[in-house]
Copies of this chain bind each other. A is one copy, B any other.
Amino acid sequence: MTLPKAVEIREVGPRDGLQNEKVFIPTDLKVQWIDLISKTGVRHVEVSSFVSPKWIPALADHNEVFEQITRDEKITYAALVPNLKGMEGAIKQKVDEVALFISASEEHNKSNVNASIDESLQNLKAVAAAANDAGIPLRGYISTVFGSPFGDEVQLQTVKRIIDAYIEMGVSEISLGDTIGVADPVQVKAILLELLTDYDRELFALHFHDTYGRALANIFAALEMGITKYDSAIGGLGGCPYAPGASGNVSTNDLVNFLHRLGVETNIDEEKLFTATQFLQQAINRQPDSKVYKVQSQ
Contacts and interface: CB of A to CB of B under 8 A. Distances in A.
A217 interface: yes
A29 interface: no
Interface of A: 1, 3, 182, 184-186, 189, 210-214, 216-217, 219-221, 243-247, 251, 254, 257-258, 261-262, 290-292, 294-295, 297-298
B244 A292 contact: no
Given A184-B258, A214-B216, A217-B258, 15 more contacts: A185-B220, A210-B291, A211-B291, A212-B254, A212-B257, A213-B213, A213-B216, A213-B251, A213-B258, A214-B254, A220-B220, A243-B295, A244-B298, A245-B294, A245-B295
Contact of A258 (B3, B212, B251, B297): B212
Given A184-B261, A217-B258, A212 B298 contact: no
A76 B243 CA distance: 36
Contacts of A245: 294-295, 297-298
Contact of A243 (B182, B217, B298): B298
A294 B257 CA distance: 24
Contacts of A291: 210-213, 246-247
16 contacts: A184-B261, A185-B220, A185-B262, A210-B291, A211-B291, A211-B295, A212-B295, A213-B251, A213-B258, A213-B290, A214-B216, A216-B217, A220-B220, A245-B294, A245-B297, A246-B294
Contacts of A186: 1, 3, 262
A254 B246 CA distance: 13
Contacts of A212: 254, 257-258, 261, 291-292, 295
- Closest 9 pairs (CB-CB, A-B): A217-B217, A213-B291, A213-B254, A216-B217, A246-B295, A217-B220, A184-B261, A243-B295, A245-B298
Contacts of A219: 217
A182 B261 contact: yes
Contact of A184 (B247, B262, B298): B262
A215 to B, nearest CB: 8
Contacts of A243: 295, 298
A220 B258 CA distance: 15
A211 B262 CA distance: 16
Contacts of A261: 182, 184, 212, 214
